[in-house]
Amino acid sequence: QVQLVESGGGLVQAGGSLRLSCAASVRTSYTMGWFRQAPGKAREFVAAITWPGGSTSYGNSVKDRFLISRDNAKNTVYLQMNSLKAEDTAVYYCASGNTPYYHIATPSAYSYWGQGTQVTVDS
């Protein structure tokens, strides 16, 4: 089993940056992804990265602003968020799963989820 713990969320001004981290309890060779969910909205794909890190995918709303990366020695995945906007406000969830690339943006393809971390962008 894999336990995921997110950190790094908080309050930031519009135009600012945050870096989220997700640490896995055990070594994993799974795809790692980030999803977000705002009140009253469906869960939205943000970004994902395959093992060992050669392929990445981004949601259209964050492409060119966010960057996903992983440090396999630390069993950790990161989400660098730049040029933040008010519409980026959401709970951000880390996910892990042995999922094929064509399902990389599908929440149901992931087996393990973190508790979420709140990101609030103040305009």
Residue 50: the pLDDT is 94
Position 123 scores a pLDDT of 87
Which pLDDT belongs to residue 40?
94
- pLDDT, residue 1, reads 81
Please tell me the predicted confidence (pLDDT) of residue 25.
Answer: 92
* pLDDT for the residue 28: 78
What was the pLDDT predicted at 53? 82
Question: What is the predicted pLDDT for the residue at 38?
Answer: 97
Structure-block tokens of residue 7: 């950190």
**d(C-alpha 82, C-alpha 94), whole Å:** 18
Task: Going from the first residue of the chain to its last (123 residues), give the mean pLDDT of each consecutive group of 10, the final group possibly shorter.
Answer: 94 98 90 96 96 91 97 95 98 93 93 97 94
Beta strands in the chain (DSSP E): 4-7, 10-13, 18-24, 31-37, 44-49, 56-58, 66-71, 76-81, 90-97, 112-113, 117-122
